[in-house]
Structure 1
Amino acid sequence: MIKKNNINILKKLEERNILYQATNKEDLFKILNEKKINLYCGFDLTAESLHIGHLIQLITLKYFQELGHKPIILLGGATSLIGDPSFKLKKRKINPIDNINLWFKKISLQINNFLDFNCGKNSAIIINNYEWFHQMNILFFLKKIGKHFCVNHMMNKDSIKNRMTNNNIQGISFTEFSYNLLQSYDFAYLNKKFDVILQIGGSDQWGNIISGIDLIKKIYKKKVFGLTTNLIIKNDGTKFGKTEKEAIWLDHKKTNPYKFFQFWLNIPDSIVFKFLNMFTNYESKIIKSFYQKQNNIKKNSPQYLLATYMTKMVHGETNLVISKKITNLLFYENINNFSENDFLTLLKNIHNISLENKSFDLPTILILSKFTSSRKKAVILIKSNSIFINNQNISNTNFIFTDHDKKFHHFTLLRKGKKNFCLIYWK
């Protein structure tokens, strides 16, 4: 691990549009400038994979580790059984403990790709808060911890208030209400055991972080700090999250590398430079040099630069090469030049269906490929010139697939619009 000296990490995070807010920024800067610290970030185990909304926290931890600070990742085996109500419109789904234990192992492996776990004193570590919560006496918790929390103050937090005052939103259970106490105690526990003095999280975690800071001040008389990062916002203004539709996962089985590459390749011009600044370590002069290359998904576009960096970071060089090859095949190469191996590569990496080698009409195929849900809708798609077979537009609603449409006797590339592909494999 290379140690970089004399770098103002807070200023760097601000310049890269990562830092949203921090407590006592001047005091925190002074401490960071004088010594190496232990810091932590928590992730609840509510799915088998992290998603791109978590990347900023991981990148932030990596920046700190590169400067010699020690990152601790807390995976919430216990808090996942409660559910964080922060800015959620309804109660989170609570998953069985067996699922949570399995997800702990999977997510731990994912995090290993981002941080260094074998670099000496500042090696990253992963812990599970189930270790201390599962055997805790409830009377101890209420007497020693609960007494430090004012219900009136908790109810005034925006994340709680929204759930209680909006008639169109479900109320909040006592279980969810107690989440704030549990996360606060996490910070206190890590402060006592590992001398953690900084918690980082997304900007929606500010209230929980402040509660932890206040708790440590009350029970240990210590000053600790909190830092939040900007949330990653989708085109519709909502944040990326694993409970939202079309989540982009870090697990290659849930979002394959090609789809992952395509996601970044299709980032709008309006936010691509912001994402280049936040997610990559490219110098600002390199990013600025791409300002004149917008609206272009070819190799010299800012989107291509972003997609290349992100896919390599998350999925590695080999999967990046495959993703680029698939992109070239689908969008730039003449299908008549495809080899059989090219089709086999597509078969492994894009949406596909396997069918018996017999006669099918186009509306039936469109339904089987899940491009539409009914023959009526299929006919509308065909008449609107939205359907392509082997990159040839088909407007005949009675079209029947023949051997002529089957490349190497087995493959037909079906396309809806410009970007929706399905490879048919004829058995």
Structure 2
Amino acid sequence: MTRHMLEAGKPATRLKSETLQVLLERGLVNQASDLEALDARLAEGPVTVYAGFDATAGSLHVGHLMPLMAMRWMQKLGHRPIAVLGGGTTQVGDPSFRNEARPLLNDLQISANVAGIRRCIDRLVDMSGEDGAIMVDNAEWLTEFRFLEFLRDYGSQFTVNRMVTFESVKSRLEAQSPLTVLEFCYMMLQAVDFLELSRRYNCEMQIGGSDQWGNIVNGIELGRKADGRKLHGLTVPLLTTAGGAKMGKTAAGAVWLHPEHLSPFGFWQFWRNTADADVGRFLRLFTELPINEVERLSLLQGNELNEAKKILSTQVTAIVHGAEEARTALEQGEALFSGDGDLTDPTHVLPRECLSEGLGLLELLVRIGFADTNGEARRLVEGGGVRLNRQVIEDVRRQISVGDLQAEDRLAVAVGKRRKALVGFS
């Protein structure tokens, strides 16, 4: 299958469909299968499109905003999104571009995670009305298969020769890292998802991260072989900063979408601290401001650029948490950044057990997103910029204990004048 790579942020002049033009203009397109056919199909009228989210944690993170924003735009342009919760595929674990197998979760953990992910998606797509978005769990069909039945019906549609050519598998094999049969079968399960959705809901298109290209192609090919269907795929770019660092990918410093994992203010503050070089691109990706307004804000310099950062923070917080939470976060942020206020609600919540297990200051700074690595956290401490409960801490070996907690088991953390967090332990 031909892979069409598109340059994000620059509309293709020959496109017929408004949908592809908008997605490309917003920077939400990395690869597309059979670009001309996809463009022609989108120009014909509405399509049903899906994105899948495995239940590996109780919340989605900012990296998931990329496919969610793509589906949100498609819905605004008349298409119907399906959010697929991976209650079934999570039992196997996606090996894509990983050096080792994902930890296997039990049924209770997966169910709890699915519930949290539902809460994240509810606000991002509109599920009201007969033509509203749909949310389904792939456990609904994957857990119904009997092993021999699955092999007979679908095993013959895949060849090992083809499967090992995909980068997600090839990179693992070239690194000589173990790849279990369980993980190897993951791409078959995701392909069956696409086929099943096409049969149940006439779904014709899948959106996924750039690391999902091989899985998407397998689904397209299975639809053609099994039912003669013409299916389409599109990937969004990997979310990185201007410096090339991945965003939202590590459990230690993930920027969660669920308010129980990261408060709306903590979320707002993350975007408020966006690096200058990333402001324009993030406005394009994560807000629904008109492109001409995005371009105007992107040209601002100095103190005026801080106003653009506040607009970015408030806009994306409103999309993820609602307008009221965004307004409250803006007010609290205005007070904090002017030095006139303190936090009243936790911005981060960590398990209380981590205090007894040993929580170092450097690890804490990474976990709340104030540093990307222990090395960066060490430099912040050594530079005298880190405060716990308003006291400057210069000991890089400092351990956090129950005795550090203030009322309601909270710990105030600050780095410099503009980064503040109130960490709760429960």
Q: Indicate the TM-score class for this superposition, using the shorter chain for normalisation.
A: 0.7 to 0.9
- Distance in 2, matches of 1:383 and 1:224, equals 55
Aligned to 1:151: 160
Cα-to-partner distance string for 1:178-206 (whole Å, 9 max, x where unaligned): 00100001111111121111111111111
Pair 1:319-2:328 in alignment? no
1:387 deviates by 5.9
Residue 383 of structure 1: how far off its partner (Å):
8.8
**3-state SS, counterpart of residue 231 of structure 1:** coil
Cα distance change, pair 65–394 in 1 and its aligned pair in 2 (3 A): closer
Question: Do the aligned partners of residues 72 and 424 (structure 1) sit closer, same or farther apart at CA in structure 2, a change above 3 Å counting?
Answer: closer
- For 1:243-267, what per-residue CA distance to the aligned partner results, in whole angstroms no more than 9, with x for missing partners? 4431100111211112111111111
Any idea what SS the aligned residue of 2:297 has?
Answer: coil
Distance change (3 Å), C-alpha of 1:207 and 1:259: same
Tell me how far 1:7 sits from its aligned partner: 5.9
1:348 partner SS: coil
Partner of 1:375: none
1:131 to 135, 140, 143: 140
**The one of 30, 38, 47 aligned to 1:37:** 47
The one of 275, 284, 290 equivalent to 2:282 is 275
Aligned to 1:310: 316
Contact residue 371 and residue 416 of structure 1 kept, 8 A = no
Tell me, in whole angstroms, the C-alpha distance in 2 between the residues paired with 1:49 and 1:328.
27
For 2:178, what is the secondary structure of its paired residue? coil
Q: CA separation in 2, counterparts of 1:349 and 1:390?
A: 14
SS, match of residue 82 in structure 2: strand
Counterpart residue number, 2:106:
96
Residue 113 of structure 1 corresponds to which residue in structure 2?
Answer: 123
Q: Map 1:352-371 to 2 at 5 A.
A: none
Q: 1 CA distance for matches of 2:259 and 2:118?
A: 15
From 192, 197, 200, give the equivalent of 2:199.
192
1:296 Cα offset (Å): 3.6
For the pair 1:237 / 2:247, whether they are aligned, the reply is: no
* Aligned-partner SS, 1:42: strand
* Superposition deviation, residue 329 in structure 1: 2.7
Amino acid at match of 1:208: N
Give the secondary structure class of the aligned counterpart of 1:227: strand
Q: CA deviation at 1:149?
A: 0.8
Indicate how the Cα distance of structure 1 residues 414 and 252 shifts in structure 2: closer, same or farther if over 3 A, else same.
closer
SS in 2 for 1:304: helix
d(CA) in 1 for partners of 2:388, 2:270: 24
Supply the AA of the counterpart residue of 1:324: L
- Displacement of 1:85 after TM fit? 0.6
Residues 128 and 26 from structure 1, CA distance in 2 versus in 1: closer, same or farther, beyond 3 angstroms?
Answer: same
Q: Is the 8 A contact 2:32 2:233 kept in 1?
A: yes
Q: Name the amino acid aligned to 1:111.
A: I
Q: Which amino acid aligns with 2:224?
A: K
Q: Within 2, Cα distance between the matches of 1:271 and 1:111?
A: 25
Q: CA 1:414–1:81 in 2, change beyond 3 Å: closer, same or farther?
A: closer
Tell me by how many angstroms 1:238 deviates. 4.2
| Gap runs ≥5 in structure 2 | 1-15, 351-359, 367-378, 395-409
Conserved 8 A contact 1:351-1:421: no
**1:162 aligned to which of 147, 155, 171:** 171
Superposition map of 1:43-62 within 5 A: 43-62=53-72
Q: Which one of 28, 35, 47 corresponds to residue 18 of structure 1?
A: 28
State the Cα deviation string for residues 14-71 of structure 1 (Å, max 9, x = none): 1111111211222222222222221111111111111111112111112221222211
Q: What is the Cα deviation at residue 390 of structure 1?
A: 9.2
- The 5 Å alignment of 1:259-298 reads 259-296=266-303
Q: CA RMSD in A?
A: 3.3
2:256: which partner in 1?
249
Deviation at 1:330, TM superposition (A): 2.5
> For this pair of structures, how many residues does the alignment match?
373
Deviation at residue 416 of structure 1 after TM alignment: 4.4
- Distance between the aligned counterparts of 1:85 and 1:16, measured in 2? 29
Q: Is the 8 A contact 2:17 2:42 kept in 1?
A: no
Gaps of 5+ in 1: 1-5, 335-341, 354-365, 373-379, 396-410
Q: Which residue does 1:358 correspond to in 2?
A: none
Contact map agreement 1:265 1:297 (CA 8 A) in 2: no
Q: Look up the SS of the partner of 1:75 in the other structure.
A: strand
- AA aligned to 2:229 is K
Instruction: Map Cα deviations across residues 98-119 of structure 1 (whole Å, 9 max, x no partner).
Output: 1111222222222111111113
Confirm or deny: 8 A CA contact 1:47 1:242 kept in the other structure.
no
TM-score, normalised to structure 1, is 0.78
Q: Which has the larger radius of gyration?
A: 1
Contact 2:266 2:421 (8 Å CA) reproduced: no
Given the superposition, is the C-alpha separation of residues 309 and 146 from structure 1 closer, same or farther in structure 2, using an over 3 Å criterion? Answer: same
Please, what TM-score do these two structures have when normalized by structure 2? 0.79
What residue identity is the alignment partner of 1:197? Answer: E
1 CA distance for matches of 2:123 and 2:411? 37
User: Of 346, 350, 364, which aligns to 1:349?
Assistant: 346
How far apart, in 2, do the equivalents of 1:266 and 1:171 lie? 40
Q: Is the 8 A contact 2:347 2:423 kept in 1?
A: no
DSSP 3-state at the match of 2:229 = coil
SS of equivalent to 2:179: coil
Q: Residues 123-142 of structure 1, C-alpha deviation per residue, up to 9 Å, x if partnerless?
A: 11111111111121111111
| Offset of residue 321 of structure 1 | 2.7
**Which shows bigger deviation, 139-148 or 110-119?**
110-119
- Residues 352 and 162 (structure 1), Cα distance of their counterparts in 2 relative to 1, 3 Å cut: closer
